[in-house]
Amino acid sequence: MSVAENPLLLPRKRSTVFATLNRIVTSPRFWVYVSCVVLAVLASYGLGKELLWDTMDYHVYAGFSALHDRFGRDYFAAGPQGYFNPYAYVPFYLLLRSKLTVLEDASILAALQSVILWLTFELALLVAPRDQPRTRLAVGILAAVFAFANPILINELGSSYADITTAEIALAGWLVLAGAIRSPSGVRVLCAALLLGVASALKLTNAVHAVSAVALLLFIPGGWRSRWRHVALFISGGAVGFVLVCAPWSLRLEQHFGNPLFPLLNGLFRSPEFTTAPLLAYRFIPTSLGAALLRPFSIVAPVTLVDVEWPAPDLRYAALLLLLLQLGWRRIRNRGSSPASPECAAATRVLTALGCAFLLDWTLWLTASGNGRYFIPMACVAAALDVALVFRLFAEWPKARNYLLAAILGVQFFQLYSGTEFRARLPWTHGPWFKVLVPAELASHPSLYFTIGNQTDSFIFPDLPAGSGFVNLAGEYVLAPDGSNGKRIESLVGRYGTNLRVLVRDSRADAARETSLPNPMMVDDALEPFGLKADPSRCSRIAVHGVVVEWLDFSSARAQRRRSAAGADAGYFEACALDRNGSGPAPPFPGKSAADLALDHLEDSCPALFQPARPADIVGGDAARGYVFMRRYANTGMVAWVGQGWVRFLKLLDANEQDVGRERSWEKQPLRVVCGREGHGFLRALPPAT
């Protein structure tokens, strides 16, 4: 008999639905989840619209390239990062291209990012005894609050950054494994492996968390044979998850460059279109064992360049270290005490497993990057461990426990208020994130656009005519006019014929009134090696409303931070036509061979500081005032150059340039130097040996 035939079933079904809804609404878990969403959305609203460097540099382009095949038209359009797996940025790109306002976009992103607080809450429940429901709930709520009080996490709420969303997948994998320690199951291990494989594929920095998760497997109850089966299942499942997500993009990279993970691991695959030197960002990696041991306490101070570029003080790691030491001391002292209840023992097993896996992850993370943006899932694990350990260590002294928790959270929130540098609080508008206005003469003709500079400005590419191509000549990876880079660019130039343009950001204070090509000498110096020259008489202006952003200006040998004029609500770009400058690439600049020899010798004298070695030159200046030949070193964030007879260097985020001797001295041979990688970089020339 159908429901329609028996109307008595309808009230019964409705009562079941209402009962289910009532259970959900009256559940503490529901209100914790809702509170997390509200907290994240309010934090995003308070921070204002996000227009950070990476958003403009490659995040928009990543989502664009994931949905449109750009391999045949673009070449390093968004720098090397533009070839990383882009699928994590598709949600942001779809929101950006929707008809929603920027506030609506950011609120949706913040709500999705708040899931990491849900996962922290659930993880904290697993490290508290189930026979103490009020304690479990308190541990879960406080852990979620402590996870939220992460300056790095807060700064990314409502933003384009995929660090939080991919961290959610990684943390979910750890949560499932923690559940497997309480209730052993091969299905749980497989699900966790798939999650961590997917997280690693979407953002390769999550591979550290996948590797360290193996430590959790060793705490699953059972004999060693079953544990090894779990390890084998975990490795297999992780590989499957990684390949399933990576395969579509990696196949295109393999076809185009001969490296399925391009530009990563190029020392193994050896694509001729990128350096084969190892890529490792040393900016936040400790320079010594002592610095590594002190890192939990270094992060507490509100200073720059500790685990992110800006002040982001965080108390949780120092607190966790001290609590773990106290727990270890108590276990040694109470070794002969009576055994705990089965439920308490199960919670202790999960707590111990998470603590060991966290310490392994911390070690691998410091070795691989030390970047706090890539440690967000473990920051949430640390929050759960901190709260659970305080409850465990002070179970017999509830007042002391409450005072300690209040002190830790109070200090952390005070640091958030007074010591953290948050992103610029740009005003919300009723329109889109930004609006690109392309003039009619550009909108109707697809062209090959060349950009110049470390900031690729690839966020405007989706608004330029369909069929256009983009090449960034002098970004983080400088393209050489010869070799495989030169051949690829020559092929693109031949395909577009006379439809060639250079796209230059206008950083002048009166950019709204200027109509000439900005930095014409820098533009011509970058284009001349490729046989191209800008025509300043054939320029069109692109206006982008809603962009007030800081960028690094490399118009001179010294990198400078610049920002749009105060109160400006638009950025301007000049798109100028290009002419062929002869039949092929121009001859080398005067003095280039001598400058290259000096820079080669500088790299050889201090390989720890200048790597990857032998990057292509960026040329500035002119014949009248003298040329400047500059090299950027992505691993260490250094810039070195030869100009006016001297060899100089600086770190991009440091304003203190240093000279290390005359060019003619470095041309002859590498000079004697004291070389290291301390803090912002250190190199000092020594007197000649006698």
Per-residue pLDDT of 126-144, as tens digits, reads 999 888 889 999 999 999 9
SS3 sequence, 132-164? Answer: CHHHHHHHHHHHHHHHHCCHHHHHHCCCCCCHH
Specify whether the CB–CB gap between 533 and 579 falls below 8 A: yes
Nearest-angstrom CA–CA distance, 353 and 127: 10
> Mean of the pLDDT values across residues 328-354?
79
If one counts every other C-beta atom within 10 angstroms of the C-beta of residue 672, the result is 13
Which pLDDT score, from 0 to 100, does residue 424 have? 85
Specify whether the CB–CB gap between 664 and 597 falls below 8 A: no
**Measured in whole angstroms, how far is the alpha carbon of residue 299 from the centre of its chain?**
19
Tokens for 582, please give them: 């002869």
Tokens for 207, please give them: 């591979």
**Measured in whole angstroms, how far is the alpha carbon of residue 361 from the centre of its chain?**
18
From the number of C-beta atoms within 10 Å of its C-beta (0-12, 13-18, 19+), residue 3 rates as exposed
Nearest-angstrom CA–CA distance, 536 and 517: 6
Instruction: Read off the pLDDT of residues 424-468 as tens digits, 9 standing for 90 and up.
Output: 888 898 899 999 999 999 998 999 999 998 889 999 999 999 999
Three-state secondary structure call for residue 278:
coil
Three-state secondary structure call for residue 466:
coil
pLDDT of 565 higher than 60: no
Higher pLDDT, 461 or 567: 461
Nearest-angstrom CA–CA distance, 129 and 120: 16
Tokens for 403, please give them: 């005072």
CA quadruple 163, 203, 454, 661: dihedral positive or negative?
positive
Using alpha carbons, select from 433, 530, 585 the residue that is nearest to residue 106.
Answer: 433
Which band of pLDDT confidence, cut at 50, 70 and 90, is reported for residue 560? very low
Nearest-angstrom CA–CA distance, 483 and 470: 19
Give the up-direction half-sphere exposure of residue 305: CA atoms within 13 A in the CB hemisphere.
Answer: 14
According to DSSP, residue 424 is labeled P
Specify whether the CB–CB gap between 292 and 299 falls below 8 A: no
H helix or E strand, kind and range, residue 643: strand 638-643
Using alpha carbons, select from 526, 512, 534, 309 the residue that is nearest to residue 423.
Answer: 309
Instruction: Read off the pLDDT of residues 76-85 as tens digits, 9 standing for 90 and up.
Output: 999 999 999 9
According to DSSP, residue 459 is labeled G
Instruction: Read off the pLDDT of residues 668-688 as tens digits, 9 standing for 90 and up.
Output: 888 888 888 765 567 877 777
Instruction: Read off the pLDDT of residues 215-267 as tens digits, 9 standing for 90 and up.
Output: 999 999 988 889 999 999 999 999 999 999 999 999 999 999 999 999 999 99
From the number of C-beta atoms within 10 Å of its C-beta (0-12, 13-18, 19+), residue 502 rates as buried
Nearest-angstrom CA–CA distance, 368 and 336: 40
Using alpha carbons, select from 216, 382, 199 the residue that is nearest to residue 295.
Answer: 382
Higher pLDDT, 547 or 410: 410
Cross-strand bridge partners of residue 575: 503, 540
What pTM did the predictor assign?
Answer: 0.92
> Mean of the pLDDT values across residues 358-381?
96
Instruction: Read off the pLDDT of residues 511-546 as tens digits, 9 standing for 90 and up.
Output: 767 777 888 888 988 999 999 999 999 999 999 998
Cross-strand bridge partners of residue 629: 619, 642
> Mean of the pLDDT values across residues 624-631?
88
Which residue bears the tokens 């750009």? 70
